[in-house]
A and B are shown apart, each in its own frame.
Chain A
């Protein structure tokens, strides 16, 4: 992974890390919900 954060002051670097986490949680949470619902369907293939 290449980052371009080497010249960033500490506070800005910290807030970017928070932003990074929030960004991935923002899209990851609904995606996880979709995967959970899909797993319920897949169970039907094995048991149905």
Chain B
């Protein structure tokens, strides 16, 4: 269906790859979006200066990030179909405009000391940019790399993890230069908004959808794993497979957040009563190691899934993840290297779970509306974002209130995480190929197979 509101330059029909277009130009296009929007995980850098200069509480200063994450889930869930219909260039453009404008509105809010403008700008407007941007390259990458969909989406989603690695030191350095007062914060937001607008433009300009001729040959092994039929987003949410995968993603993410949420105090508490206590600086290094594991897991494990299959790799994430949590709960304080390795591998599974899920969706539902289905599935992330910290903090607080300390603060939540991972493992086992009654009729998916709407192709 042609969408008259979409400018010609952004229309799907204008983004069809010309002959000779290399598919290796698509990952940098995707990365320019994901490396930018991954900044969301570096919001904590702004919390102390905002609290000091605007007199905010810790809860209030977290509000822009929380609103942004809620908007990420909502815009991905509700905007997914639009992204599929209008194409990746339109989606990347919308993402770049919303994300950058969010910073500019926040700059105005900081300059005028109107905090609600920061919540509106960074949280609401920027959050829409996060959601649309997160799903924007997924289906395009899968179509360009039908032989290695896990690796392709792994590269992009690794970028989301890497975005915080860039934004965190960069914004900290700018705040140091401009100052942590409202004027300095405003200047930092302003520079970030402008730089991200330019940086994300590369994705808008570079992204192309493949024509059938330009799409690479599909080796048999990879094609075998592809869904036998194409399923629309509307039908996908009616299948048990979607909801089993929703549970799998939600519980895998919850388990990862269980460690991420309290990484620094956790390692300090675990070794506080031993001969090798952990300093605050080393705890910060531990958080850095977990970031690296999270990021690498996104690329490495999702690439491995192309070889071993999606169901098997989730068996590893959930099954081995549960065993690693058990090792932490029973002997985590016996050895610092053991603790670090177990936590890092769990975090690599957390990242791997995010990065492998688009390829799993493609295997189950085909490429027809995989971006839109992915958007709907991301509500599992929003749920886990609430569930994970809630469990870990509630357990730690209740243990502390009853006079416990050290490892006792965390072992109960570790056992809760093991239970959740076992439930996720069982949900993964229940996933079977989608029944043919949910498949689209033959010929009804032309827009996504060729990158051209039927009526546009006929012109």
Point out residues on A near B: beta carbons under 8 Å: 1-5, 7-8, 12-13, 16, 19-20, 23-24, 26-27, 30-31, 33-35, 37-38, 41-48
Q: Does B427 contact A (CB under 8 A)?
A: no
The listed residue with most B CB atoms (<10 A of its CB), out of A1, A26, A31, A38, is A38
CA distance A33 to B269 in the complex (A): 32
A interface majority secondary structure:
helix
Closest beta carbon of chain A to B37's beta carbon, Å: 13
Which bucket holds chain B's interface residue count?
35 or more
| B28 closest partner in A (C-beta) | A23
Q: Does B291 contact A (CB under 8 A)?
A: yes
B interface majority secondary structure:
helix
- A-chain residues with CB within 8 Å of residue B147 when the two chains form the complex: 2
Point out residues on B near A: beta carbons under 8 Å: 17, 19-25, 28-29, 31-32, 35, 147, 159, 162, 165-166, 168-170, 199, 202, 206, 213-214, 216-217, 278-289, 291-292, 340
6 smallest CB-CB distances across A and B, nearest first, come from A45-B285, A8-B20, A41-B288, A34-B165, A48-B282, A48-B281
- CB-based contact B284/A4 at 8 Å: no
CA distance A7 to B292 in the complex (A): 41
- CB-based contact B25/A19 at 8 Å: yes
- A-chain residues with CB within 8 Å of residue B214 when the two chains form the complex: 4
- CB-based contact B285/A23 at 8 Å: no
**Beyond A4-B19, A4-B216, A44-B281, is A26–B168 a contact (Cβ under 8 Å)?**
no
The residue from A12, A34, A43 contacting B20, defined by CB atoms under 8 A apart: A12
| A34 closest partner in B (C-beta) | B165
- CB-based contact A27/B168 at 8 Å: no
| B167 closest partner in A (C-beta) | A34
CA distance A24 to B27 in the complex (A): 8
- CB-based contact A38/B292 at 8 Å: yes
